[in-house]
Copies of this chain bind each other. A is one copy, B any other.
Amino acid sequence: MINKTVKNVDEALIDVKDGITVMVGGFGLCGIPENIIAALVQKGVKNLTCISNNAGVDDFGLGLLLQKKQIKKMIASYVGENAEFERQMLSGELEVDLVPQGTLVTRCMAAGYGMPAIYTPAGVGTEVALGKESRKFTFNGIEKEYLLEYAFEADFAFVKAWKGDTAGNLIYRQTALNFNHAMAIGGKITIAEVEELVEPGELDPNFIHTPGIYVHRIFQGAHYEKRIEQRTTRKRG
């Protein structure tokens, strides 16, 4: 096997520079690459274009990068929970491209499947369709209009997995899977942080979500906070 291990997050991010485009896994605060985000803040890289479903909250997730004004442009489907985001967007400091969630993830996946573009009906007839090529297809007897949407070109994908092996194979836990797999396959260089890094052969080869061929660097993260955004419960009894 090919060993994808790097010593730590700093070695993983060694060639991350100002002005690049990055995919960042997670849905809300669930399954985000906490160690990588913290290291990006520390490193101080600027003018990032971030492709991520959400933009974190004020003091966690991508919100940490927003606080330091490291993000130039945000490509996301929903950005509701972040006052600093709102301030920067309204002041024009931050460019925002809102993309339907399914389009967003499929444009990541398309990159990983070597598809330069895909067709989706999402956004037809809305402002999302403005300036976009569209076309009708009939499938299973239903004629519909579809938009042509392009695969994302991202210099790096930053993802978080539950377990990984040194060959780069990744498995995710529950809904922390979310965007992480599509981004892991979609990045030009994919960096994975995992809660547990194991030797090749320890993961069942039948049940790996992201094959190691897509992963360029892997390291075991530390101090996972795994913050819960909406703590909803029911009472016992």
Contact = CB atoms under 8 A, between A and B. Distances in A.
Interface of A: 106, 111, 113-121, 137-140, 144, 146, 150-151, 153, 171-174, 177, 188, 204-207
A171 B206 contact: yes
Nearest to A208: B207
Contact of A120 (B115, B205, B206): B115
B120 A119 contact: no
A122 to B, nearest CB: 10
Contacts of A188: 140
Give 9 closest A-B pairs by Cβ, nearest first.
Answer: A116-B137, A207-B207, A116-B139, A140-B153, A115-B119, A115-B118, A116-B119, A139-B151, A117-B137
A206 B207 CA distance: 9
Contacts of A140: 153, 188
Contacts of A138: 116
A148 B119 CA distance: 11
